[in-house]
Amino acid sequence: MSRPAGRPLRVAIILTLLAVVVAAIALLSGCEPEPTTPPSPSPSRPAVLDAACRNVLVASNPGTIASSEIDELSGLSASRSTDGVYWAHNDSGDSARVFALGGDGRDLGTYVFEGAAARDWEDLAVGPGPEAGTSYLYAGDIGDNAKARSSIQVYRVLEPSVDPSAGASPPQTLSGVSTLTFVYPDGPHDAEALFVDPSSGELFIVTKELTSGDGQVFRAPADLASGSTTTLTQVATVALGLGGGVTAADVSPAGDVIALRTYFSVVLFGRPAGAPLAQAFSEQSCAGATAAETQGEALGFTRDGRGYVTASEGGAPDLHRFDAP
């Protein structure tokens, strides 16, 4: 049904026509929003941190994890001895083993930790150990959803040599595994994040505070003896906001950037030159780039430290890589 044209309608038509004319003039004159220019690079910051702070990290998908045995990916860390090799493991429910992967997700073999248990493996680190100049694998049996464990374990073993150009080798057993037992000073915590300072060899665990997002950072001394039990020392608290439970962590091979991931974000912290690693959590952080992942619990820096890789749980997950340009 039509209605009589009145003054309000005429005014509305006139205003609409004026808006169209103004838009047309702007279009013809070439008026458009000025492009956003990212801030200039800061030579004082590590490349990956600087790129994250300037929002210029370059995303890529180098491949898909090929091994059908990896269906609940939780730990991911780049080899420190061989370029193009990553180490990974499953979440709780798997045996005490890790997987060697190519940078594109190719299966490079399975390695069993002799004498180790696997109650709830949650994260994996590569770093220095008792033998100088040699890298070690650290598997963190640190998960505790019920917060009921009186102690947690980290298993340490020499990093095996892997040829990234070869196919998957037959399963191998790693001997000489050290069991390091830890106790929290204030009672049990659930944790899914582990990293080792490449400079000092100290070990760090960040708790998963899913409700508050206030992760507690605990430290243990370097080069602990196999079979030892150590009370952890709290050295920092990191506030990531409601729902910001930490599901993975890593430190760059140079030890100058720490990355924490949650289900929804990646946060990078720069270490001041000459400062203890925990000092990084007192510095201004920057949000890193992320990808849509169903349940993201894995993160590791690239071997050159200029980027990082993430992946989700589930069968054949995609690898998501983010690098400084």
Secondary structure of 274-306 in HEC code, one letter for each residue:
CCCHHHHHHCCCEECCCCCCCCEEEEEECCCCC
Summarised one tens digit per residue, pLDDT across range 234-271 is 999 999 999 899 999 999 999 999 999 999 999 999 99
Mean pLDDT of 58-83: 96
User: How confident is the model at residue 38, as a pLDDT?
Assistant: 64
Summarised one tens digit per residue, pLDDT across range 143-179 is 999 999 999 999 999 999 999 988 888 999 999 999 9
Distances (CA, A) of 43 to 56, 125, 154, 308: 15, 28, 37, 20
pTM: 0.88
Summarised one tens digit per residue, pLDDT across range 274-305 is 999 999 999 999 999 999 999 999 999 999 99
User: How confident is the model at residue 90, as a pLDDT?
Assistant: 96
In degrees, to the nearest 5, what angle opens at C-alpha 73 toward C-alphas 70 and 79?
Answer: 90
**Farthest CA pair distance, the chain:** 92
Please, are residues 181 and 140 in contact by the beta-carbon 8 Å criterion? no
The yes or no reply on domain 47-323 and CATH 1.10.10 is no
Which residue do the tokens 């040599």 mark?
Answer: 161
Is the per-residue pLDDT at 28 higher than 90?
no
Rounded to whole angstroms, the Cα distance separating 267 from 283 reads 12
